[in-house]
Amino acid sequence: MKSGTVSKPDYEAIKRVIASIPRGRVSSYGEIAQRAGLPGRARLVGKVLGDSDVELPWHRVLRSSGQTAFPPGSRGFREQSQRLRTEGVVVVNGRVNVQIYGWQRDLDAELWGPPPASPRKSTPKKSHAAAKPARNTKAVSHRR
Protein backbone atom coordinates (compact mmCIF):
# COMPACT_ATOMS: atom_id res chain seq x y z
CA MET A 1 0.00 0.00 0.00
CA LYS A 2 1.37 3.41 -0.97
CA SER A 3 1.95 6.08 1.63
CA GLY A 4 -0.98 8.48 1.74
CA THR A 5 -3.57 5.97 0.62
CA VAL A 6 -6.41 4.98 2.88
CA SER A 7 -7.58 1.45 3.51
CA LYS A 8 -11.18 0.35 3.56
CA PRO A 9 -10.90 -0.57 7.28
CA ASP A 10 -9.97 3.09 7.99
CA TYR A 11 -13.12 4.27 6.20
CA GLU A 12 -15.22 1.73 8.07
CA ALA A 13 -13.75 2.72 11.44
CA ILE A 14 -14.60 6.37 10.78
CA LYS A 15 -18.14 5.46 9.67
CA ARG A 16 -18.68 3.42 12.86
CA VAL A 17 -17.56 6.32 15.03
CA ILE A 18 -19.79 8.82 13.20
CA ALA A 19 -22.75 6.44 13.42
CA SER A 20 -22.26 6.16 17.19
CA ILE A 21 -22.47 9.91 17.95
CA PRO A 22 -25.51 10.16 20.24
CA ARG A 23 -28.57 12.16 19.23
CA GLY A 24 -28.32 15.70 20.62
CA ARG A 25 -24.50 15.57 20.75
CA VAL A 26 -21.81 16.80 18.38
CA SER A 27 -18.23 15.82 17.68
CA SER A 28 -15.32 17.35 15.78
CA TYR A 29 -13.57 15.91 12.75
CA GLY A 30 -10.40 15.50 14.82
CA GLU A 31 -12.16 13.76 17.70
CA ILE A 32 -13.78 11.30 15.29
CA ALA A 33 -10.41 10.52 13.73
CA GLN A 34 -8.92 10.02 17.21
CA ARG A 35 -11.72 7.66 18.26
CA ALA A 36 -11.31 5.73 15.02
CA GLY A 37 -7.65 5.15 15.86
CA LEU A 38 -6.46 7.61 13.22
CA PRO A 39 -5.09 10.61 15.13
CA GLY A 40 -4.27 13.58 12.94
CA ARG A 41 -6.57 12.46 10.13
CA ALA A 42 -9.41 14.98 10.56
CA ARG A 43 -9.47 15.72 6.82
CA LEU A 44 -10.01 12.05 6.11
CA VAL A 45 -13.19 12.23 8.21
CA GLY A 46 -14.48 14.97 5.89
CA LYS A 47 -13.57 12.89 2.85
CA VAL A 48 -15.38 9.83 4.23
CA LEU A 49 -18.48 11.93 4.91
CA GLY A 50 -18.37 13.31 1.36
CA ASP A 51 -17.81 9.91 -0.27
CA SER A 52 -20.17 7.85 1.88
CA ASP A 53 -23.17 6.21 0.27
CA VAL A 54 -24.44 5.17 3.72
CA GLU A 55 -26.79 7.45 5.66
CA LEU A 56 -24.68 8.86 8.50
CA PRO A 57 -25.54 11.56 11.06
CA TRP A 58 -23.24 13.99 9.21
CA HIS A 59 -24.94 16.97 10.82
CA ARG A 60 -23.40 16.03 14.22
CA VAL A 61 -19.87 16.59 12.88
CA LEU A 62 -18.46 20.10 13.38
CA ARG A 63 -15.17 21.91 13.40
CA SER A 64 -13.29 21.78 16.71
CA SER A 65 -14.47 25.35 17.39
CA GLY A 66 -18.09 24.18 17.25
CA GLN A 67 -18.76 25.84 13.89
CA THR A 68 -20.33 24.13 10.93
CA ALA A 69 -18.03 23.53 7.98
CA PHE A 70 -20.53 25.08 5.57
CA PRO A 71 -20.50 28.77 4.63
CA PRO A 72 -23.14 30.81 6.49
CA GLY A 73 -26.39 31.03 4.56
CA SER A 74 -25.63 28.06 2.29
CA ARG A 75 -28.09 25.21 1.88
CA GLY A 76 -25.80 22.85 3.83
CA PHE A 77 -25.45 25.40 6.63
CA ARG A 78 -29.23 25.79 6.94
CA GLU A 79 -29.88 22.04 6.78
CA GLN A 80 -27.21 21.17 9.35
CA SER A 81 -28.44 23.87 11.73
CA GLN A 82 -32.05 22.70 11.37
CA ARG A 83 -31.18 19.03 11.95
CA LEU A 84 -29.21 19.89 15.08
CA ARG A 85 -32.03 22.09 16.41
CA THR A 86 -34.48 19.24 15.81
CA GLU A 87 -32.33 17.14 18.16
CA GLY A 88 -32.36 19.86 20.83
CA VAL A 89 -28.91 21.30 20.11
CA VAL A 90 -28.73 25.10 20.35
CA VAL A 91 -27.10 26.61 17.25
CA VAL A 92 -26.26 30.32 17.29
CA ASN A 93 -24.76 31.88 14.15
CA GLY A 94 -23.65 28.44 12.95
CA ARG A 95 -21.86 27.62 16.19
CA VAL A 96 -22.60 25.03 18.88
CA ASN A 97 -21.29 25.25 22.42
CA VAL A 98 -19.20 22.06 22.52
CA GLN A 99 -18.83 22.35 26.29
CA ILE A 100 -22.56 21.69 26.55
CA TYR A 101 -23.33 19.56 23.48
CA GLY A 102 -19.96 17.91 22.83
CA TRP A 103 -19.68 14.16 22.90
CA GLN A 104 -18.55 13.10 26.38
CA ARG A 105 -15.19 11.35 26.48
CA ASP A 106 -15.91 9.65 29.80
CA LEU A 107 -18.53 6.89 29.71
CA ASP A 108 -19.20 7.17 33.45
CA ALA A 109 -19.88 10.90 33.07
CA GLU A 110 -22.12 10.17 30.08
CA LEU A 111 -24.17 7.62 32.01
CA TRP A 112 -24.13 9.01 35.54
CA GLY A 113 -23.28 12.69 35.16
CA PRO A 114 -20.19 14.50 36.40
CA PRO A 115 -18.67 13.39 39.71
CA PRO A 116 -19.72 15.38 42.76
CA ALA A 117 -17.47 18.26 43.66
CA SER A 118 -15.08 17.40 46.46
CA PRO A 119 -15.53 19.55 49.56
CA ARG A 120 -12.89 22.22 49.81
CA LYS A 121 -11.08 22.78 53.03
CA SER A 122 -11.38 26.29 54.32
CA THR A 123 -7.98 27.94 54.34
CA PRO A 124 -7.45 31.20 56.15
CA LYS A 125 -6.77 34.15 53.90
CA LYS A 126 -3.38 35.70 54.17
CA SER A 127 -3.27 39.25 55.36
CA HIS A 128 -1.51 41.76 53.18
CA ALA A 129 -0.04 43.28 56.32
CA ALA A 130 1.80 40.06 57.07
CA ALA A 131 3.38 40.08 53.64
CA LYS A 132 4.92 43.55 54.07
CA PRO A 133 7.64 44.25 56.57
CA ALA A 134 6.47 46.22 59.59
CA ARG A 135 7.23 49.92 59.48
CA ASN A 136 8.98 51.58 62.32
CA THR A 137 6.35 53.94 63.64
CA LYS A 138 8.69 55.86 65.94
CA ALA A 139 9.58 59.34 64.92
CA VAL A 140 12.97 59.44 63.34
CA SER A 141 15.11 62.51 63.74
CA HIS A 142 17.17 63.48 60.78
CA ARG A 143 19.38 65.77 62.85
CA ARG A 144 22.87 64.78 63.74
DSSP 22-82: PTT-BEEHHHHHHHTT-TT-HHHHHHHHHH--S---GGGEE-TTSB-SSPTTSHHHHHHHH
Tell me the mean pLDDT in the region 17-42.
95
Whether the CB-CB separation of 28 and 61 falls below 8 Å is answered with: yes
Could you tell me which of 115, 57, 55 has the C-alpha nearest to residue 89? 57
- Give the start-to-end residue ranges of the domains of the chain: 8-110
pLDDT digits (tens, 9 = 90+) for 97-135: 998 999 875 656 656 766 666 666 555 555 555 555 556
Quick one: pLDDT at residue 54? 84
Q: Does residue 31 carry a pLDDT above 80?
A: yes
Quick one: pLDDT at residue 125? 58
pTM of the model: 0.68
Q: How confident is the model at residue 2 (pLDDT cuts 50, 70, 90)?
A: very low
Secondary structure letter of residue 92 according to DSSP: E
Quick one: pLDDT at residue 1? 38
Q: Does residue 42 carry a pLDDT above 70?
A: yes
The Cα 127–Cα 37 span in angstroms is 52
Quick one: pLDDT at residue 7? 72
pLDDT digits (tens, 9 = 90+) for 60-111: 999 999 999 999 999 999 999 999 999 999 999 999 999 899 987 565 665 6
Helix axes 8-19, 42-51, angle to 10 degrees: 90
Those residues whose C-beta lies under 8 Å from the C-beta of residue 21, and which sit 6 or more positions away, are 27, 32, 57, 60, 61, 103
- Its CATH architecture, for the domain 8-110, is Orthogonal Bundle (1.10)
Quick one: pLDDT at residue 52? 85
